Structure 1
Amino acid sequence: MPNSINRRRFLEQALKGAAALTAAMSLPQLGSAFAATSTPSKAALPSTMELAINLALAQPSGFRYNRPYVAVYIEDAQGNPVRTVSLWAETSRHARYLTELRRWFSESSDLIPTVSSPTRNPGQYTLVWDGKTDQNKPTPQGEYYVCVEAAREHGPYGLVRQKVTLGTAPLKKSLDTSVNPDLSSVSVEYRKKA
């Protein structure tokens, strides 16, 4: 009889430990831990290449115009944030409108103090992603989403989000901006660094 009690206690303790481990680690973390051990690592993006994101803010119509808040960022193929390239927003007086950048804000709002800069007037702008994460680590070659999210106080909201495949070959691509009238054009160019 003592052996069956010891086995029972052992099984109870083992189950409690497994439950605690499961509670401590979320399922995505478990999945990525298993994926990291079962799949070979991909080669990093070449350090000699960069992704230029060209965007044009449209000239407004009407007399009252608030410059849009714009977040330009990169996501991996699963939609997880990789790098915030730039955030144009008023952070001192109207920080409440940052929530209008819905997708970016839900994942990366803790980066506001380090990546924000003033809003911009209508015109052409070029931003460059060096192929690294927000933690300054190299990223693997593969598929990424280029995201340009724009929102304006008392104005429209729109998210331009398109997949690109980055490796060793150059690439040029125009993105569809019909979802937001504040963006007249967005294009990307994967190129050698100047």
Structure 2
Amino acid sequence: MRARLRRVAAARIMEFVLLNRTVATLSLFCICLAPAAAARAGQQDAVAADQAADEQSPTEESLGFPIYPSARFLRSYDAGRGQRYYLFGTNSTFVDMVNYYRLLLEERGDRVFDAPATHIFEVGRFREESMAFPPGVTIKDYTWNGAEGYLHAGAEAGPERFSTIIQIVPPPPGQAER
């Protein structure tokens, strides 16, 4: 049952990331077609608030989880129920990332997918009534099957590719960490 829950959670997380990319693409398309509709104050405020949250790189203290030293903060997404997903990219190998988090979190975690390799460390208790997802760290290999890596369209230096993505989901504010 617990392994099934982990697989479902991992699938939801990846679906959520893909959905946000689709929504962002559709939003951009709609803005290009209907500039007047995009000028609504409510939409601009929501977009500005989301962008402001994404601009600030979180710290280990604010997340309650370690961040790999060479990992670069990419973006955060609203997960619902007061939680956010924080995505970090690194060009360290998937195996190195799993070993790093195994050591620091003092937990083995679970490999939920072999292709693409996805490993989840659930840290803390999942409270369905107040959380969208279990607090923890998910690591995904984006170089499987010959892929070039996760493509991130960074604002400063242009597009970058990362071989491994680290997703951190802290508990909602005010709830006990780890």
Give the TM bin, normalised by the shorter chain.
under 0.3
Structure exhibiting the larger radius of gyration computed from Cα positions:
1
With the length of structure 2 as denominator, give the TM-score of the two structures. Answer: 0.24
Higher normalized strand content (fraction of residues): 1
Higher normalized helix content (fraction of residues): 2
Tell me which of the two structures has the higher relative contact order, counting C-alpha pairs closer than 8 angstroms and 6 or more residues apart.
1
